[in-house]
Amino acid sequence: MKRWLQEPLLHFLLIGAALFALFYQVADPETVSDNRIVISEQDIDRMITLFERKLQRLPTEQELNGLVEAHIREEVLYREALAMGLDQDDTIVRRRMAQKVEFMFNDLVDAAEPTDEELQQYLDGNPDKFIESARTSFIHVYLSADERGDKVMTDAQQLLVALNSKQNPIDSDTAGDPFMFGYTFDAQSDHQISGMFGSDFATSLATLAAGSWQGPVASGYGLHLVYINDRTEPWRPLLSEIRDSVLYEVLAERRQLANSAFYKTLLERYDVIVEQPLMQQSLVETELTQ
C-alpha cells in the first residue's frame, strides 16, 4: 500500500484534481463558457509578417503550423488565467498571465518530491546523463613552432630522449619554451584539455600511457612533450554524491510530462478554428516553385 502511494502517476492525478478544484472555485462561469478559439486570417497574416520581419524570409508550412500551435496554447492558458482571476490588479501582459498558469501547475508538481528510490531508478535508467568524464593529470614541455621554425620537430625529438635519459636527466621546468597556460595540469577532463590545447591534442593525449615522457604531441601552439602522472576512467557517482542533480532532472521531466497532459486536458474544452488565409496559399505556392 505504501509503495502504491509513492507512484508518480498517482501524484500527477492528485495534483491535477487539486488544480481543477481550485479552478472551479475561482473561475468566472461566463469566461469558461466561451470555449471557441478562432485563429483568423488576420492572425495568421500577422504571424507570417512578424516572422518575415524577424528572419527576413517567409516561414515554411511546418514553421507556420508551429506558430499557430504556439498561439493556440497561449490563448488557452490566457483564458484559463482570466477565468481564475489572475489578471486582477496585475498589469502583466497576456503572455505572462498564461505563464502564471504553468507556474502554478509546476509548483504543484514540485510539491510531490520524489523518493530516493525513485531517484535511484532514474539514475539507473539514465546513466549517460551523470557520467563523470575521464580525468588526466600531466605535465608538458612546450616547443614553439614560431620560435624554432623548421627545427621544432628535431628539437622535440632530441629533447624527448634527454627527458627520458636515466643517466643525464634534465629538468622539465627549465626545458622548452614559455607557455601561457603553465606546465602542470591536475585531473583535467577531455573538455577542459580541448579548451586549452584543442581537440586533436586531447584525442592524442588519451592514447598515451602514463609513467614516461612521450610525444611530440601537436597543438595549435606548436609541439608538446607530455608526461602523464595519472588517469582515471569515466565513472558514475553514487546517488548520495549527485542527489541534487538527479532531483533536478527528475523534476524537470515530471514538469514536462505533467504540463503536456495538463495542456491537452485544457485544450479539449475548446473548439479551435484555424481559418486558411489567402496569404498562406501564396506561401505554399512560393515553396512549390523553389
Q: Which CATH number covers residue 186?
A: 3.10.50.40
- Residues 33 and 153 grouped into a single domain: no
Query: Which range (89-93, 113-117, 185-189, 260-264) has the least confidence?
Result: 89-93
Domain extent at residue 190 = 135-232
Q: Do 40 and 122 fall into the same domain?
A: yes
Compute the residue count for the chain.
Answer: 290
Instruction: Determine the Cα–Cα distance for residues 78 and 31; give it in Å rounded to an integer.
Output: 11
Q: How many domains does the chain have?
A: 2
Q: Is this structure's pTM higher than 0.85?
A: no
pLDDT of residue 56: 84
Last residue of a domain, one of 232, 252, 268: 232
* 160 vs 2, more confident: 160
Query: What confidence score (pLDDT) does residue 290 get?
Result: 58
Residue 121 pLDDT more than 70?
yes
Q: Does residue 31 surpass a pLDDT of 90?
A: no
Give the pLDDT confidence score for residue 137 in this predicted structure: 92
118 and 61, same domain (yes or no): yes
Average pLDDT, the chain: 79
Distance CA 286, CA 152 (A): 59
Instruction: Report in angstroms the alpha-carbon separations of 248 from 107, 113, 122, 130.
Output: 14, 10, 11, 12
Instruction: Tell me what pLDDT residue 101 has.
Output: 72
Q: Which of 232, 258, 275 is the last residue of a domain?
A: 232
Same domain (yes/no): 9, 96: yes
pLDDT number for residue 30: 46
| Model confidence at 180: pLDDT above 50 | yes
Q: Read off the pLDDT band of 258 (50, 70, 90).
A: confident
Q: Does 109 share its domain with 246? A: yes
Q: Please check the confidence at residue 2 and state whether its pLDDT lies above 50.
A: no
Q: Do both 213 and 188 map to the same domain?
A: yes
33 compared with 176, residue with greater pLDDT: 176
Confidence of residue 15 (pLDDT cuts 50, 70, 90): low
- Look at residue 10 and tell me whether its pLDDT is greater than 60: no
One domain, residues 8 and 79: yes
Give yes or no for residue 58 having a pLDDT over 80. yes
Closest CA to 136 of 204, 182, 205: 205
Least confident of 25-39, 92-106, 238-252: 25-39
